[in-house]
């Protein structure tokens, strides 16, 4: 197939060459008729004389030899320094005595010119994946946030006033421990993220036990089903709730295939891990809350903003845009 900017297709080249070679047309007249230069017309006529019809097809533009090409041994040395020591082009160029532009060109050609493209553990290029349809796979996990004392936490009111507020709230709720230390407890956020659309479902619970995790999964599946998204698979880590027989039985009742991540590899569940960071930055610690109740009351509104209005950097649009014809889509 001819490239996008080719003036002639193989069929037009053949007609041009036949007019010159077989019909005896002047080169300039034939070139003018096909709106190409006389040099181009002579080229195709010459190929037709030498090779016939076979000479009209496209040829590779790759040169037969590249004397200035970076040797394979040098390329391996550049890649090795990048993987093992995470050095940049300037540092690698200094170690190997090469121009930094050459090193950068090699890194770009090997697709490791950005450290964000390299796996931190193995040094291999990151292999990203995304399922083709909403509901093909959902990610589930639990993240934890310490409760905010009445009057605000230390992040906004300062460490001293934060300790005062913490102690007063603990005394009011009677939650000091046996050492008389104030303990406000933890909020467990059970999160569910669709792999394709990144649409999120979140519930705040009092624990991360199996029964709680199963209840969140059942309600999340119903929530997605109400939006026309049937869930087929669920991916979780190896937390105790997700390794239980009750979890497998609940998935079987829902018609879902349970899957688990590799041990010590949170990158496998990276989409929901990244969502937890967004949740912390956009909701949990985004502004001053004068109580835990105020922060929890703000969660539904933020989740709606995340799903319907916030531009997701990975997909270039709001997550809900990947689900079609939803009520409230543009509200």
Domain CATH number, residue 255: 3.30.420.10
- Whether 82 and 18 map to the same domain: the answer is no
Mean pLDDT across the stretch 226-250?
92
- Whether 170 and 91 map to the same domain: the answer is no
Nearest to 235 by CA among 256, 205, 250, 216: 256
* pLDDT greater than 90 at residue 103: yes
In-domain check, residue 3: no
CA distances from 222 to 176, 218, 229, 275, 316 (A): 39, 6, 9, 21, 27
In-domain check, residue 193: yes
Mean pLDDT across the stretch 231-250?
92
- Whether 283 and 143 map to the same domain: the answer is yes
- Whether 191 and 268 map to the same domain: the answer is yes
Q: Which residue in this structure is represented by tokens 């997909």?
A: 315
Would you say the C-alpha torsion 257, 226, 302, 134 has a positive or negative sign?
positive
Reported as a pLDDT band with limits 50, 70 and 90, residue 261 is: confident
Name the least confident of 48-62, 88-102, 203-217, 240-254. 48-62
* Domain membership of residue 165 as a residue range: 154-183
- Whether 101 and 196 map to the same domain: the answer is no
Residue 127 pLDDT: 63
Asked whether 237 and 261 are in contact (CB, 8 A), the reply is yes
Reported as a pLDDT band with limits 50, 70 and 90, residue 254 is: very high
Residue 330 pLDDT: 44
In-domain check, residue 35: yes
Q: Quote the CA–CA distance of 139 and 256 in Å, as a whole number.
A: 12
Q: How far apart are the first and last CA of the chain?
A: 47
In-domain check, residue 66: no
* pLDDT greater than 90 at residue 216: yes
Q: Quote the CA–CA distance of 40 and 185 in Å, as a whole number.
A: 79
- Whether 32 and 143 map to the same domain: the answer is no
- Whether 34 and 178 map to the same domain: the answer is no
Residue 297 pLDDT: 94
Total number of domains constituting the chain? 4
What percent of the chain lies above the pLDDT cut of 90?
Answer: 54
Q: Quote the CA–CA distance of 38 and 22 in Å, as a whole number.
A: 17
Mean pLDDT across the stretch 58-63?
80
In-domain check, residue 328: no
Mean pLDDT across the stretch 255-261?
92
In-domain check, residue 129: no
Residue 128 pLDDT: 67
- Whether 314 and 213 map to the same domain: the answer is yes
pLDDT digits (tens, 9 = 90+) for 204-213: 999 999 999 9
Q: Quote the CA–CA distance of 297 and 308 in Å, as a whole number.
A: 18
Our CA dihedral for 112, 114, 115, 118, rounded to 10 degrees, sits at -40
Mean pLDDT across the stretch 248-272?
87
CA distances from 129 to 116, 201, 215, 291 (A): 15, 21, 28, 40
**E-state strands within the chain:** 138-146, 186-194, 200-205, 233-236, 257-260
In-domain check, residue 295: yes
- Whether 221 and 178 map to the same domain: the answer is no
- Whether 238 and 312 map to the same domain: the answer is yes
In-domain check, residue 1: no
pLDDT digits (tens, 9 = 90+) for 109-142: 988 887 766 666 555 666 667 888 899 999 999 9
Residue 331 pLDDT: 46
- Whether 94 and 18 map to the same domain: the answer is no
- Whether 239 and 142 map to the same domain: the answer is yes
Task: Work out the mean pLDDT of the chain and round it to a whole number.
Answer: 87
Which of 2 and 26 is assigned the larger pLDDT? 26
């Amino acid at each position: 197939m001819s490239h996008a900017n080719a003036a002639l297709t193989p069929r037009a080249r053949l007609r041009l060459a036949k007019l010159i070679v077989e019909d005896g047309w002047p080169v300039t007249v034939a070139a003018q008729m096909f709106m190409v230069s006389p040099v181009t017309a002579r080229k195709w006529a010459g190929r037709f004389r030498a090779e016939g019809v076979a000479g009209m097809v496209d040829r590779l533009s790759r040169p037969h030899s590249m004397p200035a090409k970076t040797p394979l041994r040098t390329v391996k040395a550049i890649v090795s320094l990048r993987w093992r020591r995470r050095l940049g082009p300037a540092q690698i160029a200094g170690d190997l005595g090469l121009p930094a532009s050459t090193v950068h060109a090699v890194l770009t050609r090997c697709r490791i010119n950005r450290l964000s493209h390299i796996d931190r553990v193995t040094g291999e290029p990151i292999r990203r994946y995304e399922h083709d349809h909403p509901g093909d796979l959902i990610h589930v996990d639990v993240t934890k946030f310490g409760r905010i004392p009445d009057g605000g936490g230390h992040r906004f009111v300062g460490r001293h006033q934060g300790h005062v507020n913490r102690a007063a709230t603990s005394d009011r709720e009677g939650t000091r421990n046996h050492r008389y230390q104030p303990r406000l407890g933890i909020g467990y956020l059970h999160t569910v993220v669709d792999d394709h659309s990144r649409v999120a479902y979140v519930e705040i619970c009092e624990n991360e036990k199996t029964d709680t995790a199963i209840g969140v999964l059942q309600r999340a599946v119903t929530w997605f089903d109400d939006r026309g998204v049937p869930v087929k698979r669920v991916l979780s880590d190896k937390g105790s709730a997700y390794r239980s027989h009750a979890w497998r039985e609940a998935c079987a009742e829902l018609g879902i295939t349970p899957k688990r991540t590799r041990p010590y590899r949170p990158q496998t569940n990276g989409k929901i891990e990244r969502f937890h960071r967004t949740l912390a930055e956009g909701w949990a610690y985004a502004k001053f809350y004068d109580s835990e109740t105020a922060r929890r009351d703000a969660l539904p509104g933020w989740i709606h903003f995340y799903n319907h209005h916030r531009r997701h950097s990975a997909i270039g649009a709001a997550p809900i845009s990947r689900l079609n014809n939803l009520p409230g889509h543009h509200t």
